[in-house]
Amino acid sequence: MLLNLLVGLIAGLLVPRFERWLRDFSESVWLGGVPLSEKEFDMAALLVLLILASILLAILSVDSSAFLLSLGALFGLFGKRFWARVSMKESQ
pLDDT of residue 84: 80
pLDDT in tens, 44-84: 889 999 999 999 999 988 888 889 999 999 998 888 788 88
pLDDT of residue 51: 92
pLDDT of residue 34: 67
What pTM, to 2 d.p., does this model score?
0.77
pLDDT at 91 > cutoff 70: no
- CB under 8 A, 24+ apart: contacts of 7-10: 7/53, 7/56, 7/57, 7/69, 7/72, 8/50, 8/53, 8/68, 8/69, 8/70, 8/71, 8/72, 8/73, 8/74, 8/75, 8/76, 9/72, 9/73, 9/75, 9/76, 9/79, 10/53, 10/72, 10/76
Q: With the CA atoms of 44, 48, 50 and 42 taken in that order, what torsion angle do they form, in degrees rounded to the nearest 10?
A: -20
pLDDT in tens, 1-50: 789 999 999 999 999 889 888 888 877 776 566 677 878 888 888 999 99
pLDDT of residue 37: 80
